[in-house]
Amino acid sequence: MSTLLPFHTSILNEIYDPDTSDLLNLVLLVNATQEEETEIGEELGIMGCRKPGLRVVGYETGTSRDRQDLYKGGGLIAVTSRILVVDLLQNTIPVELITGIMVMHAERVSPLHLVSFITRLYREKNTKGFLKAFTDQPEHITSGLSPLKNIMKELRLRRVWIYPRFHQEVKDTLERKRADVIELAQNLTDNMNDIHGAIVQCMTITLAELRRSKVELDLDGLNLPAAYFSSFDHIVRKQLDPIWHKVGPSTKALVRDLGILRRLLGYLLVYDPLQFHSFCQSLVEAVTSNSTESGSGKSQWMLTDAANIVFQAAKKRCFVDVPVQEQPEQTEVIDLDDDDEAWDAVFELEGRPLEARHPTNKDKGKATATGRRPKWLPKEIQPVLEELPKWSLLAEILEEIEGELVRMESTVSSRPVEESPGTNITLVMCSSTATCNLLNDFLSSMDDKRPKGEWGRRMMLKKLQSWFWWEKRRKMMKEAMQNASSSGKKVGNSYLETTVWSGESLNDKGDHGLSEAMKKKDRERAAQKASRRRIRGGGPTNSSARGATVPRDTPAPGESRSELGFSQTMPDDFLNANNEELLSLNDEEMELNLVTDMSTLEFAIEFDEHYGLLAPAQTVLVRAYSDDTDDRMLDEIKPRFIVMTEPCMEFVRRVEVYKCSNPGLPVRVYHMVYANSCEEHKYLAGIRREKDSFERLIKERGSMLLPILEDQRTTENDAIIKTISSRIAGGRRELNVVSSQVIVDMREFRSTLPSLLHASQLLVIPATLTVGDYILTPEICVERKSLSDLVSSFNSGRLYTQCELMSVHYKTPVLLIEFDEDKAFSFEIISDLKSYAKTTNRYPPKKKTTGNPAEHEYTSPTIQSKITLLTLSFPRLRIIWSSSPYATADIFNDLKKDRAEPDPGKAVATGAEEDPEAGAGVNAAAEELLRSFPGITAKNVKHVMNKVMNVRELCEMDLVGVQGILGVEPGKACYDFLHRGEKGFRI
Per-residue three-class SS string for 426-494: EEEEECCHHHHHHHHHHHHCCCCCCCCCCCCHHHHHHHHHHHHHHHHHHHHHHHHHHHHHHHCCCCCHH
Q: In Å, how far from its chain's centre is CA 22?
A: 37
- 167-181, 431-445, 543-557, 668-682: segment of lowest average pLDDT: 543-557
pLDDT for res 858: 46
In terms of Cα–Cα distance, which of 289, 131, 261, 154 is closest to 204? 261
- Asked whether the beta carbons of 275 and 267 are under 8 A apart, the reply is yes
pLDDT for res 313: 94
Q: Mean of the pLDDT values across residues 492-510?
A: 51
Question: Crossing angle of helices 787-796/863-873, nearest 10°?
Answer: 60
pLDDT category of residue 270 using cuts at 50, 70 and 90: very high
pLDDT at residue 452 above 60? yes
Q: Please give the residue that has the higher pLDDT: either 40 or 774.
A: 774
- Asked whether the beta carbons of 680 and 183 are under 8 A apart, the reply is no
pLDDT for res 356: 47
pLDDT in tens, 807-843: 888 999 999 999 888 777 877 666 665 544 444 444 4
Range list of β-strands (E), 683-841: 741-745, 763-767, 774-775, 780-786, 812-818
SS3 at position 114 = helix
Q: Mean of the pLDDT values across residues 46-62?
A: 79
SS3 at position 756 = helix
pLDDT for res 344: 63
pLDDT for res 499: 56
Cβ atoms within 10 A of the Cβ of 772, count? 26
- Asked whether the beta carbons of 655 and 669 are under 8 A apart, the reply is yes
pLDDT category of residue 291 using cuts at 50, 70 and 90: low
pLDDT at residue 255 above 70? yes
Q: Mean of the pLDDT values across residues 506-513?
A: 43
pLDDT at residue 686 above 80? yes
pLDDT in tens, 757-768: 999 889 999 998
Helices (H), 103-146: 114-125
pLDDT at residue 149 above 80? yes
pLDDT category of residue 531 using cuts at 50, 70 and 90: very low
pLDDT for res 40: 85
Give the H or E element holding residue 77: strand 75-79
pLDDT at residue 173 above 80? yes
* Gap between the Cα atoms of 432 and 898, Å rounded: 60
Q: Mean of the pLDDT values across residues 560-573?
A: 34
Determine the straight-line distance between the first and last CA of the chain, rounded to whole angstroms: 58
* Gap between the Cα atoms of 198 and 268, Å rounded: 12
Q: Mean of the pLDDT values across residues 16-21?
A: 54
Strands 619-624 and 547-551, sheet pairing: antiparallel
Q: Mean of the pLDDT values across residues 689-699?
A: 90
- 228-242, 544-558, 803-817, 902-916: segment of lowest average pLDDT: 544-558
pLDDT for res 469: 87
* Gap between the Cα atoms of 94 and 88, Å rounded: 8
* Gap between the Cα atoms of 140 and 127, Å rounded: 29
pLDDT at residue 525 above 70? no
pLDDT for res 670: 95
Count Cβ atoms within 10 A of the Cβ of residue 120 and give its class: 0-12 exposed, 13-18 middle, 19 or more buried.
Answer: middle
Question: Crossing angle of helices 249-270/273-289, nearest 10°?
Answer: 160
* Gap between the Cα atoms of 590 and 594, Å rounded: 6
Give the H or E element holding residue 30: strand 26-30
* Gap between the Cα atoms of 365 and 599, Å rounded: 39
Q: Mean of the pLDDT values across residues 306-316?
A: 93
pLDDT for res 680: 92
Q: Mean of the pLDDT values across residues 341-355?
A: 56
pLDDT in tens, 397-430: 999 999 988 888 887 666 655 566 788 889 999 9
Instruction: At 56, give phi and psi (nearest 5°).
Output: -110, 130
Task: Answer whether the bond into residue 52 is a cis peptide, omega within 30°.
Answer: yes
Q: What is the DSSP string of 908-958?
A: HHTT-SS-TTSSTT--HHHHHHHHTSTT--TTTHHHHHHH-SSHHHHHTS-
pLDDT in tens, 192-218: 999 999 999 999 998 888 888 767 666
pLDDT at residue 668 above 90? yes
Written in H, E and C, the secondary structure of 679-712 is HHHHHHHHHHHHHHHHHHHHHHHHHCCCCCCCCH
pLDDT for res 856: 45
pLDDT for res 581: 36
pLDDT in tens, 73-122: 888 899 999 999 999 999 889 898 899 999 999 999 998 899 999 999 99
- Asked whether the beta carbons of 394 and 672 are under 8 A apart, the reply is yes
- Asked whether the beta carbons of 802 and 814 are under 8 A apart, the reply is no
HSE-CB of 721 using CA atoms within 13 angstroms: 6
pLDDT for res 174: 85
pLDDT for res 952: 85
pLDDT at residue 848 above 50? no
Prediction pTM value? 0.72
Q: What is the mean pLDDT of the chain?
A: 76
pLDDT category of residue 596 using cuts at 50, 70 and 90: very low
pLDDT in tens, 358-399: 555 444 444 443 446 777 788 888 889 999 999 999 999 999
- 121-125, 386-390, 575-579, 600-604: segment of lowest average pLDDT: 575-579
Beta pairing partners, 426 = 620, 641
pLDDT in tens, 877-917: 999 999 999 999 999 999 998 889 999 988 988 887 544 44
* Gap between the Cα atoms of 207 and 204, Å rounded: 5
- 34-38, 125-129, 737-741, 779-783: segment of lowest average pLDDT: 737-741
* Gap between the Cα atoms of 62 and 922, Å rounded: 10
pLDDT in tens, 469-480: 888 888 888 888
Show Cβ contacts of residue 648 under 8 Å, excluding neighbours closer than 6 positions. 429, 431, 625
Show Cβ contacts of residue 626 under 8 Å, excluding neighbours closer than 6 positions. 546, 633
- 167-176, 489-498, 747-756: segment of lowest average pLDDT: 489-498
pLDDT for res 514: 46
